[in-house]
Amino acid sequence: MDETATYPKHDRSTIRRLRDRAKYDFATVHAIFSAASIVHVSFLPTDPSMDPFPTILPMLGAMGNFANPTADAATEPLDFYIHGHASSRLMKLPGSELTGDHPEGLPVCVAATLLDGIKLALTPFNHSCNYRSAVLHGYANLVTDEDEKNWAMHVVTDDVVPDRWNNSRVPPTKAESQSTSVLRITIVSASAKVNTGPPGDDRRDLQDDDVTSKVWVGVLPVWEHIGPPIESKTNKVTSVPRYLSSWMQERNSSREEYALKVASEKI
Amino acid sequence: MDETATYPKHDRSTIRRLRDRAKYDFATVHAIFSAASIVHVSFLPTDPSMDPFPTILPMLGAMGNFANPTADAATEPLDFYIHGHASSRLMKLPGSELTGDHPEGLPVCVAATLLDGIKLALTPFNHSCNYRSAVLHGYANLVTDEDEKNWAMHVVTDDVVPDRWNNSRVPPTKAESQSTSVLRITIVSASAKVNTGPPGDDRRDLQDDDVTSKVWVGVLPVWEHIGPPIESKTNKVTSVPRYLSSWMQERNSSREEYALKVASEKI
C-alpha cells in the first residue's frame, strides 16, 4: 500500500481491540464517509468547568478538495465539509471566543456509520454486527471564500443525491447564500473499522446439540433503502427524472448486494 | 402534557433553530432511542491541553429502569445502558483517574438518529430531510451489581432483536460475563428534533414556470430495511423461528409505512 495514502496512526485514532477490523487508508475512510447519509459531529463544551458534556449533532457533509476538485478519493488527501444555517450554534463556534485556545480552528470529531447486518450467534456474548464505521478528528473553520463556499454547497448537495445541484434552481440567491454557512474540517487523524461475515461461535456451544438444535444462527442483512419517490403537490415534472431514478435503483441494489454478500462471506 | 414526563430544558439541550421541530417529552425521546439500531456516544479527551478532540464511538444500547423494569417509557424516567468488551477504552474510563473531576461519572453525550426521507425542493437551499433525532447528556458509570448487569445485557440484546436473549444460549458463562462491561448512563438532559412532510419552497420559485417545469420536487422516502435471514453454515434450526420472522416483517412494514406517510404529510 502507498504509505502516503493512509492516515497517520495517532494515539486517539488507533484501534486497539479487534485490530483485524481496523483500516487507516484513504480509500476505506473516504468511501465510508461518502456512503453514509448522515454523519455525527461532536465538539467540546465551551467551558467544561461549567458544563462538562460534549455535544453531538447529526449533519449532512461531504469529502472534497477545493484546490484539487478532481482529487482521487482513494489516494489523495481530502477535507470534510459540513453546512448549516448561519445562525446555528455550530456554525458560529469556529473563530469565536468560544473555541478557546485553538487558533487552528474548532476541534471536532465526525463519525460515519453504516449498519450492514445483525449477526446472531448461539450465545448473546458472540452476537455482533456487520458494519462499516469511520471517525475523523480535525479542525473546523468557517469558509469565507465565496468560490469555495459555492463549490462546497454544490459538493454537499450532490453527496446526498448525485447531480441534484445542476438539476435544481441554482445559483443560490444572495440572501440564500448569506444565510448558509459552510465549515471546512481539516483532517488531522482518521480511522475506520469494518466487520463482515457470519457470526463466530465457541467450540463448546457448537458441540452442544441441546444448544444448536434450538438456536437459529446467521445474519439478518440490513441496508438503507430508498422507496418510491413521492411527488409534492406543487411538482410539475410529470415523470421522475432519470438522474434520480437510475441513482436510486443503483444505490438500492448495490447496498442490498453488499449486505447479502457480507452476511455469508468475510471480506 | 404531564410536566413530570418531560426532560427539563437545559441550555445545552434547548433547540433554538426551527423550534417547531423540538420535543422534550419522555415518549418522543425514548421512542427514538428505542428505534435507532446504532447510537453514537461522545466523550471528552482525557487531557484537552494535550489532545483537544472529543471522541465518538458507534455503540449498541437500550433504555431501561432496573429498579422498575416495567416502567412505562412514555411517562417514567429511564437510564441508558451500553455494553462492550471489558478491555475497551470507553468501558474503562468511568471511575478511573481519567474521568477527572467528575465524581458523578463520565460525562457523555449519546445521539440516536433515524433518516426518514430526502426532501427535494426547487432550490438546494430549501432541501432538507425527514428525520427523527434525539440527544441525551448524562453521567456514565460502570454497573457493578451482578443482577443489574445481567438484566442490562438482556435488555440491550432484546433491544436489537426482541426475545433473542431467551432464544439463545443463556445465562452467560462466568468468563463471558467477566469480559463484558456495562455502563449505566444517568440522564441529566435530553431533547429530540423531528421533521416530517413535503419540502417547502419560496413563493418566487413556485411562481417561476422556468423553474417548476424543470425541477422535480418531492420526497425520497428512506428506511432501514432488514433483508432475508442468511443462515450460517453451522445453523441446525431448519426454519427461521417465528419470533425473528414476525418481528422482521412487522419492523420492515412499520418503517416503510412511516417513511411513506411523512413524505406527504406533516405530522
pLDDT tens-digit series, residues A127-183:
999 999 999 999 999 999 999 999 999 999 999 999 999 999 999 999 999 999 999
The ipTM of this complex is 0.95
By percentage, how much of chain B surpasses pLDDT 90? 82
Are A122 and A217 spatial neighbours (Cβ–Cβ below 8 Å)?
Answer: yes
**Model pLDDT, residue B123:** 97
**Chain A residues with CB-CB distance to B153 below 8 A:** 124
Distance from C-alpha of B10 to C-alpha of B190, rounded to nearest angstrom: 8
At B102, the pLDDT band (50, 70, 90 cuts) reads confident
Q: What is the per-residue pLDDT across B211-265, written as a single tens digit (0 to 9) for each?
A: 999 999 999 999 999 999 999 999 999 999 999 999 999 999 999 999 999 999 9
**Whole-angstrom Cα distance, residue A160 to residue A36?**
9
CB B59 within 8 A of CB B108: no
Q: Would you call B123 an interface residue with chain A, using a CB distance cutoff of 8 Å? A: yes
| Nearest partner of A86 among A184, A177, A199, A194, judged by Cα | A177
Query: Where does the pLDDT of residue A114 fall: very low under 50, low under 70, confident under 90, or very high at 90 and above?
Result: very high
Q: Does B88 touch chain A (CB under 8 A)?
A: yes
pLDDT score of B98: 55
> Is 80 exceeded by the pLDDT of residue B8?
yes
Q: What phi and psi values does residue A29 have, to the nearest 5 degrees?
A: -60, -50
Predicted confidence band of residue A48 (pLDDT cuts 50, 70, 90): confident
Percent over 70 (pLDDT), chain A: 97
Supply the pLDDT for residue A100.
59
Interface test with B, best of A33, A39, A40 (most B CBs within 10 A): A40
Residue A97: pLDDT over 70: no
Please give the pLDDT value at position A145. Answer: 96
Q: Which residues are CB-contacts of A29 (< 8 A; sequence separation ≥ 6)?
A: A7, A23, A134, A136, A190, A191, A192
Q: What is the pLDDT of residue A234?
A: 97
Average pLDDT over residues B154-163: 97
Whether residue A98 is predicted with pLDDT greater than 60 in this model: the reply is no
Nearest to B123 among A120, A169, A259 (CB): A169
Residues A153, A158, A160, A163, Cα dihedral to 10°:
140
Report how far apart, in Å, the C-alpha atoms of A72 and of each of A22, A49, A63, A77, B104 are.
22, 43, 11, 8, 47
Residue carrying the nine cell digits 449498519: A115
> Would the CB atoms of A113 and B240 count as touching at under 8 Å?
no
Q: Is the pLDDT of residue A201 over 70?
A: yes
What is the pLDDT, as a whole number, of residue A2? 60
Residues of A within 8 A of B259 (CB-CB) are 227
**Under a CB-based contact definition with an 8 Å cutoff, are residues A78 and A187 in contact?**
yes
pLDDT at B153: 97
Please, which residues have CB within 8 angstroms of residue B41's CB and are 6 or more apart in sequence?
Answer: B56, B57, B58, B59, B61, B82, B90, B108, B109, B110
Cα–Cα dist A59/B40, whole Å: 13
pLDDT surpasses 80 at A13: no
pLDDT at B97: 61
Chain A residue numbers touching B56 (CB-CB < 8 A): 40, 42, 56, 109-111, 135
Whether B35 contacts chain A with CB within 8 A: no
pLDDT band at A47, cuts 50/70/90?
A: confident
Please give the radius of gyration of chain B, using alpha carbons only, rounded to the nearest integer: 21
d(CA A162, CA A27): 19
Rounded to 10 degrees, what is the CA torsion of A58, A59, A64, A66?
A: -140
Q: Is residue A57 predicted with pLDDT exceeding 80?
A: yes
Q: State the pLDDT confidence band at B1, using cuts at 50, 70 and 90.
A: low
Would you list the domain boundaries of chain A? 3-264
Straight-line distance from the first to the last Cα atom of chain A, in angstroms, rounded to the nearest whole number: 18
> How many of the other CB atoms lie within 10 Å of CB of A9?
13
CB A225 within 8 A of CB B225: yes
A263 vs B87, which has greater pLDDT?
A: A263
Lowest model confidence (mean pLDDT) among A48-62, A99-113, A229-243: A99-113
What's the pLDDT at B2?
60
Under 8 Å between Cβ of A154 and B113: no
The pairing of strands A180-195 and A22-23 is: antiparallel
Name the CATH code of domain B3-264 (choices 2.30.110.10, 3.40.228.10, 2.40.30.10, 3.30.70.20). 2.30.110.10
Residue B81 and residue B142: Cα distance in Å, rounded? 10
C-alpha cell at A14: 488507533
> Does B244 lie at the interface with A, CB-CB under 8 angstroms?
yes
Q: Is B236 helix (H, G, I), strand (E, B) or coil?
A: coil
Q: What is the DSSP string of A48-87?
A: TTT----EEEEE-EEEE-TTSTT--TTTS--EEEEEEETT
- The predicted pLDDT at position A46 comes to 81
The pairing of strands B39-43 and B106-120 is: antiparallel
For residue B4, the cross-strand partners are none
Of A35, A41, A29, A122, the C-alpha closest to A81 is A41
pLDDT class for B92, splitting at 50, 70, 90?
A: confident
Mean pLDDT in residue range B64-79: 94
- Contact with chain B for residue A129, Cβ under 8 A: yes
B208 by Cβ neighbours in 10 Å (0-12 / 13-18 / 19+) ranks as: middle
Gyration radius from chain A CA atoms: 21
* Residue that the C-alpha cell 432483536 belongs to: B161
Which among A111, A218, A244 has CB closest to B231? A218
Grid coordinates in use for A130? 456487520
What's the mean pLDDT in B85-112? Answer: 83
